[in-house]
Structure 1
Amino acid sequence: MKRKIAGEVVCALLVLSMVPVAKVTYESPQEYAMDSEIICISISSGSPDETTAFPYTVVEENEHYVRLLLDNSFTFLKEPGKPLIPTVVKHFELPFGITNVRVNVDVPSYRQHILPKDIVPASNPVPYTLSRNGATGGYTRNEQIYGSSQPYPSRWFSYHAGCGLNDNLQRVTHLTVELYPIRYCPADHTIMVAESAAINISYDEPASPLFTASDTYDLVIISPSMFSAELERLVDHKNAHGVQTLLKTTEEIYAEYDGVDRPEKIKHFIKDAIETWNVTYVLLVGGLKSPFYGNPRDTRNYGSRDWYVPVRYSNLYDIYEDDPVYDPGFLCDLYFSDIYKAGGVFDDWDSNDDGIIGARNRPETPDDTLDLYPDVYMGRLPCRSIREVQSCVDKIITYENTAAGSEWFRRIVAVAGDGLQDQEDLDVQWDVTGLPSGEYTIYAQSRSNITGEWGPVDEVTVTVDPAQESSLHFSEDDHLRIHTYPGPAILEITSPSTGDILGSTDVDFTPPEAYMGFLWANVTYVDGIMHIRGKSYDPRPYGFYTDIKVWIENEEGETVFTQQKKDIRSFCDCEWTTGERPMGGGRAGAFYYMPDTFEKIYLWASNGNFTSQSDVIRTLSEGCGFAFFFGHASPSTMIVNMPGMPGGFSKSAVIGLQPINIGIPVFPMNSIENTDKLPIVAVMGCHNSQFNVTLLNSVLGWNRVWTGFYPTPECWSWWLTKVPRSGAIATIGCTGLGPGSFNQEFVPDTGCWIFPEFFRQYGEEGHHVLGDAHGQSITSYLSTFGQSNMIDVKMVQEFTLFGDPSLKIGGYS
């Protein structure tokens, strides 16, 4: 039988100034019976006086670009170097197994309007890596696109259909439709604005159910036979709590199932387990065979020879122009949980049959079309020995038997500071033309918008002399002026610097030592105008806006220039993400979503509660139910940067927690004395969960392991999880470069969105089984952002769980 869904969407008229936000009413399609012939949705303004459902605003980005903002939507098409286009993403749940899904968006008419400037290009994502090279971008333009009169995007919409579990753990077809109500013709500086649109969706239902599985097992554990004896204890424990569990060895799977390689054989077994026993959870137990050496990757697609349980590598390459920091493929356990694609068909992640699995943006390689929605909830214990298996089994059994009702479980801990130096450009412009030659002193001061108090005065002395060549430098020494937190508002003049000469020649460059300096630190003296730049920040919890004043005196002490600016934005993104205050786009920090019954403990740089990893060890030793770490990272460490990054990236960095320390204690994670009081740990950063490291390849730098030659026999997340009776009961982290950001409207995306979503799934949606909360975070992310942006696809692929997906969070009562 063929089914149709029809919807009408009235889109925006051009608005060049702020308009009232329209009230949007939306009835979710999943609330309708699936046997309806037609399901209708509508989006209206909610006001008889307002004719536009999607009013938007044109905002000046800078002297070269404008930004388009679409009210009531906070998603964008953001292909780096191409125009940043606002989108509307709609998600539909349809029956599992449907085929021939067809989507059409009819736009009967549109209006054309001329923009005063180009639309700003989408920037490269900035990862939370320990390397500063990943933040040297800026406004890079795709000149082929910007020189074309053809509309961008080329169509009014795109869509993606896939299969996976929904919020009720039912298998459905997920359909996301991405609307582009505004399209841009760059060479003509013209936008096309849809006046209305009609979304039509049709599909073919299967003649009969694809399979009828019996509810025999809930959980399947996959491991080599050498781990079986220890894992049988876990099977018995799970069965005793009503989680029907089966242990299947890799040797059995390799003998019984076909596949192009061992990872695909395991995936075929999981498909069979779904269709035979209706399995919901899969636990892989096995990592590399040694912490000391081993080949992590046999081919570009997988690692198997030196692994107890093989791994799949995604061939998504996040390479951006002029950016040396990227992952040449990365570990991806999502492959094992994404069993079906649209139609209920097995998804081998090689849609073009070229033998390269999960390709996207890989040089000289066609992209694959992937499903990505989890069909089972997956976790891995990448154990390298029987002893590690024994430790993990003991921890899971003890946790589920004893955690319920414990006072320690009702504590949650955040460890965070600053992450991205996304300081607003001060750009105070001082025209020295006609000024007498001589020395001039620049004074600058910042005021906290929280306390209303002015901070210390910074001063710089320069020489104005048109008879000399100009000489300008960048300096960043605010670390010498702030010693305690919370602290006073800080204004640091970074250019010009004391001793500089404002002479006859122009100067314009971005200092390479300035982290993300393309946003705020350009050294510019052009046509006699000195662009005074620097940092202004409020180093206290939730510091966000400051006011600044700049005045300049000549040698006689006379004021020759003065300027004030209000509401200069600078904030600690990592702290906001772990906090409990609302942000933009209807989102909030992670702890906002946690029940009030939890005691929330903030080890933040800005409140002075974090000064070193000793604070972390001491706090975790008291026990807690959850912990959320957010900062720059690698497989070997996680760091916390002080607010405003005084002195720059490196000088402001303090170790947050690491497995191995060159000092005392030598093994910090093993020093956490939280015996049997174990948190679920979320860690947002780069490569914390990159579980293919060994001591040898970490020291020698083989296979791009991102350890900076630091001795790392096992990665950060796994070390914390495997420690006997202490550490963590599970960790969630990134196997690759972990991106995160906020846009100009303070709306989070990528890591700043999906990690708080895990806490929302637990606290608001009531998913109290670990795999449910983790898997639904992925589904929710894909349904919110779609898959057009490569960085969104990477975010869900690297979002990895080390732990038992069937774990009852807080234990059984």
Structure 2
Amino acid sequence: GIRTVIAGLNEIYTGKYFSAYGRDNAEKIKYFIKDAIEQWGIKYVMLVGGRQGGVMKERWLTPVRYTNLDDMSGWEKGYLSDLYFADVYKYEDGEPVFDDWDSNGNGIFAEWKGFSKDKLDLMPDVYIGRLACRNSYELNLMIEKIIGYENNYAKDDSWFKKMVVVGGDSWPNPDDPYYEGEEENELALQYMEGFEGVRLYTSTGTLTGPDDVINAVSQGCGFFFLDGHGNPMNWATHPPHDEETWIDGLGVGDMKKLSNENMYPVCIVGGCHNCQFNVSLLNLLKIYEGISEWYTYIYKGETSPECWGWWLVRLKNKGAIATLGYTGLDYFAIGDYEGDGIPDCTQYFSGFLNTRFFKEYANGTEILGETHGNTLIEYITTLDPYNDITDCKTVEEWVLLGDPSLKIGGYAS
């Protein structure tokens, strides 16, 4: 087993273990993680607690950090980033120092807007994950689900050796020869030697709606990878070269139909906002902000009871054991602008992270948080998140909703 310390928020804030520092509670937790690295040698951090309601202002059981990166999309000027808690150090003159994600000292964290830009290290120094539980019911359910998963060694079971992949034509431009979702799915399957690919594609007619996904996942699979479009409530994609038609893959309301008890996959989801874990039914009460703003919450799927990625995990006796996805807009590349014969959707932005996760696992990294963290490190060292705003956002918003110390496939007895 893994030696574990459970630290309550009040214990952190009152300095039970280490002196408490920080401008707000999120920073106090980050300083605590720094001290725990240096005093206890910790490797994994699991943040436990999601949103606790709030209408005028969000309330959180465990604090979060929002970035202030404005990609000029008009959709959002910031998003949740748990990477903040993992990127503890930056280096000055070769020496590690605390990285507060506020290098210009103006009190605006992870800022990138015009010429105002914080210099961030971005490299994870611990492996981070979050159980976004909103109540004790969810917490107890997840404790039981994780323990059961790890005690039920499944790596040699036929169900675990299946990988369900779901995709279509994410950018259905008639001049673009690639079906981006399916291209990512295929590359992921190439990495996963020894796994049987269960392909649900719009191009072959094997993806026609949620029932196709429900039936496939209910047969059991070790991994579940969807790549297309999303919001906190739903995931969908397009048939080839048909921008007007949407084919739903799986929505929060569909998940109750799953029947994969004790056969829980690790889910990787490519799609905007599928892991935006701040959503709430309480947003329906915000009509006081005006009809147009109120409708925006509905249109964006932000009135979901909980986000798609977490809802899939917190289901009892079904669903996934963990979900990795994006808390904000998910950017993907199109075409083959390099002319190297490789679709750019697999080489850049979310397509890089989604597919390299499977490469990392295939190379022998079986602890979930390490697979997640090492994939981030490969992205940071291969692409350019320090100078490209979209690369930076892609790294910051990729979240693990699950136990970072989880042994994928469980432990052999």
* TM-score normalized with structure 2 length: 0.91
- The answer to whether residue 255 in structure 2 is matched with residue 669 in structure 1 is yes
Say whether residues 1:776 and 2:390 are aligned partners: no
Instruction: Give the secondary structure class of the aligned counterpart of 2:249.
Output: strand
Partner of 2:260, secondary structure, is: coil
Aligned-residue offset at 1:702: 5.8
Q: Distance in 2 between matches of 1:572 and 1:774?
A: 25
Query: 2:99 is aligned with what amino acid?
Result: D
The verdict on how the C-alpha distance between 1:310 and 1:353 changes in structure 2, with shifts beyond 3 A counting, is same
Matched, 1:247 2:10: no
Q: Is the 8 A contact 2:283 2:302 kept in 1?
A: no
- Secondary structure of residue in 2 paired with 1:329: coil
- Which residue does the alignment assign to 2:289? none
Question: Residue 632 of structure 1: CA displacement?
Answer: 1.1
Q: Which has the higher contact order (CA 8 A, sep 6+)?
A: 2
Note the alpha carbon deviations across 1:392-418, whole angstroms, 9 max, x for none.
Answer: 111100100113332211110001111
Contact 1:377 1:772 in 2 (8 A): yes
Is residue 2:281 matched to residue 1:695? yes
Shift of residue 422, structure 1, vs aligned partner: 3.7
Tell me if 1:684 matches 2:270. yes
Over 3 Å counting, the alpha-carbon distance change for 1:278 and 1:631 in structure 2 is: same
Structure 1 residue 708 displacement after superposition = 3.2
1:331 aligns with 2:80: yes
Q: In the alignment, which of 710, 729, 751 is matched to residue 350 of structure 2?
A: 751
> Structure 1 unaligned runs (5+)?
1-241, 298-305, 425-568, 580-588, 661-667
Q: Secondary structure at the match of 2:256?
A: helix
2:179 matched to which residue of 1?
572
Aligned to 2:46: 283
For 1:389 and 1:296, the matched residues in 2 are separated by: 24
Structure-to-structure mapping, 1:292-691, within 5 angstroms: 293-294=54-55, 297=58, 306-319=59-72, 325-342=74-91, 343-361=95-113, 366-404=116-154, 405-424=156-175, 569-579=176-186, 589-595=187-193, 597-645=194-242, 649-650=243-244, 652-660=245-253, 668-691=254-277
Same amino acid, percent of matched pairs: 41
The answer to whether residue 359 in structure 2 is matched with residue 766 in structure 1 is no
Q: Deviations over 1:620-673 (max 9, x none)?
A: 11110001011111001101211111xxx33x101110112xxxxxxx111100
The DSSP-based 3-state class of the residue aligned with 2:116 is coil
Contact 2:297 2:303 in 1 (8 A): no
CA contact (8 A) 2:172 2:239 kept: no
Which of 788, 796, 805 is the matching residue for 2:387? 788
Q: What residue in structure 2 maps to residue 725 of structure 1?
A: 317
* Contact 1:698–1:708 (Cα < 8 Å) also in 2: no
Q: C-alpha offsets along residues 106-153 of structure 1, whole Å, 9 cap, x if unaligned?
A: xxxxxxxxxxxxxxxxxxxxxxxxxxxxxxxxxxxxxxxxxxxxxxxx
Whether the 8 Å CA contact 2:172–2:241 is kept in 1: the answer is yes
> Normalized per residue, which structure has more strand?
1
In 1, Cα distance between the equivalents of 2:301 and 2:79? 19
Seen in structure 2, the aligned counterparts of structure 1 residues 609 and 245 have a Cα distance that, compared at 3 Å, is same
Paired with 2:119 and 2:41, the residues of 1 have a C-alpha distance of 26
TM-score, structure 1 as length reference: 0.47
Question: Which residue of structure 1 lines up, in the alignment, with residue 300 of structure 2?
Answer: 708
What amino acid does structure 2 have at the position aligned with 1:358?
A
* Counterpart residue type for residue 626 of structure 1: F
- Distance in 1 (CA, whole Å) between partners of 2:303 and 2:235 is 14
**Structure 2: any 5+ residue segments left out of the alignment?**
287-292
- Pick closer, same or farther for the CA change 1:578–1:296 going to 2, 3 Å: farther
Match of 1:494 in 2: none
Between structures 1 and 2, the one with greater helix share: 2
Cα 1:380–1:296 shift into 2, 3 Å: farther
Offset at residue 753 of structure 1 (A) = 1.0
Aligned residues: 390
In 1, Cα distance between equivalents of 2:301 and 2:375: 33
Q: Please tell me the residue identity of whatever aligns with 1:784.
A: T
User: Alpha carbons of 1:355 and 1:714: their partners in 2 closer, same or farther (altered >3 Å)?
Assistant: same
Q: Is the 8 A contact 1:698 1:707 kept in 2?
A: no
SS at match of 1:274: helix
Regions of 4+ moved over 6 Å? none
Distance 1:705 1:393, change over 3 A: farther
- After superposition, give the CA deviation of every residue in 1:177-216 in whole Å (9 maximum; x if it has no partner): xxxxxxxxxxxxxxxxxxxxxxxxxxxxxxxxxxxxxxxx
| Structure with greater Cα Rg | 1
